[in-house]
Amino acid sequence: MSIIINGSPASLPDDPRVSLLDLLREHLHLFGAKKGCDQGACGACTVLVDGERVLSCLTLAVQLEGRSVTTIEGLATAHGLHPLQKAFVEHDGFQCGYCTPGQICSAVGMADEVRRCVPSHATADLTADTISLSHDELRERMSGNLCRCGAYNGIVVAIARTFEEAQP
């Protein structure tokens, strides 16, 4: 029974009670994903499973046999930080930093959802085949990630700059 974490195989826990978040933090000592509420309200534990953003606190690790998980530790490469990580630094996308790994993983997943035309509550035309990442779309799509410092303005700018530039 194994799972891929940031490209490397890891063993799944014997105890099915272990959440993906506890597997990452307590078993593998990857402390990027944070335990904020541990009940699905804050988004600080957001990671990517096969590229889709999920809450690791409500995911039982045992459900993810053979799946591939990317955490904040897996976003940077040998060539440096992920463009969104750089943008968070450049645009003051944080104060205390506790929500930041979740914000960044969430935004990476979000950008992919926009590319795949996944609708949101802010999507005016459900029949359109493309969605552009407007200010309202961005804020609605990121509503699952709370920032108690209120660094939202910087967060929104960092995400908008990164993914607007990435759009063709």
Partner 1 sequence: MMSFTYARAHDALEAFRLGSAPGAKYLGGGTNLVDLMRETIEQPSTLVDVTGLSSEIEERADGSLLIGAAARNTALASHRAVRTRYPVLARAITAGASAQIRNMATVGGNMLQRTRCSYFYDDAARCNKRSPGQGCDAAEGFNRNHAILGASSSCFATHPSDMCVALAALDAVVHVRGTNGERTLPFAELHRLPDDRPDLDTRLAPGELITAVELPALKDGARSTYRKVRDRASYAFALVSVAAALELDGDRVKEVRIALGGVAHKPWRAAKAEQALRGQPATAENFRAAAAAELADAHPLRDNAFKVELARRTIAAVLDELKEMKA
Helix, coil or strand: residue 150: coil
The answer to whether the CB of 23 falls within 8 A of the CB of 61 is: yes
**Which residue's CB is nearer to partner 1, number 67 or number 86?**
67
Place of tokens 């929104």: 156
CB of 122 to partner 1, least distance (A): 9
Q: Which helix or strand (DSSP H or E) is residue 153 part of? A: helix 152-166
CB of 22 to partner 1, least distance (A): 11
Residue 42 and residue 44: Cα distance in Å, rounded? Answer: 6
CB of 66 to partner 1, least distance (A): 11
Residues that bind partner 1 (CB under 8 A): 15-17, 19, 38-40, 43, 46, 52-55, 58-60, 62-63, 65, 106, 109-110, 113, 116-121, 123, 126-127, 139-141, 143-145
**Which residue's CB is nearer to partner 1, number 106 or number 162?**
106
**Which residue's CB is nearer to partner 1, number 78 or number 126?**
126
**Which residue's CB is nearer to partner 1, number 53 or number 91?**
53
CB of 120 to partner 1, least distance (A): 5
CB of 143 to partner 1, least distance (A): 4
Q: Is 150 exposed, middle or buried (0-12, 13-18, 19+ CB in 10 A)?
A: exposed
Tell me the pairing of strands 68-70 and 46-49: antiparallel
**Which residue's CB is nearer to partner 1, number 17 or number 29?**
17
Which residues are CB-contacts of 167 (< 8 A; sequence separation ≥ 6)? Answer: 132, 133
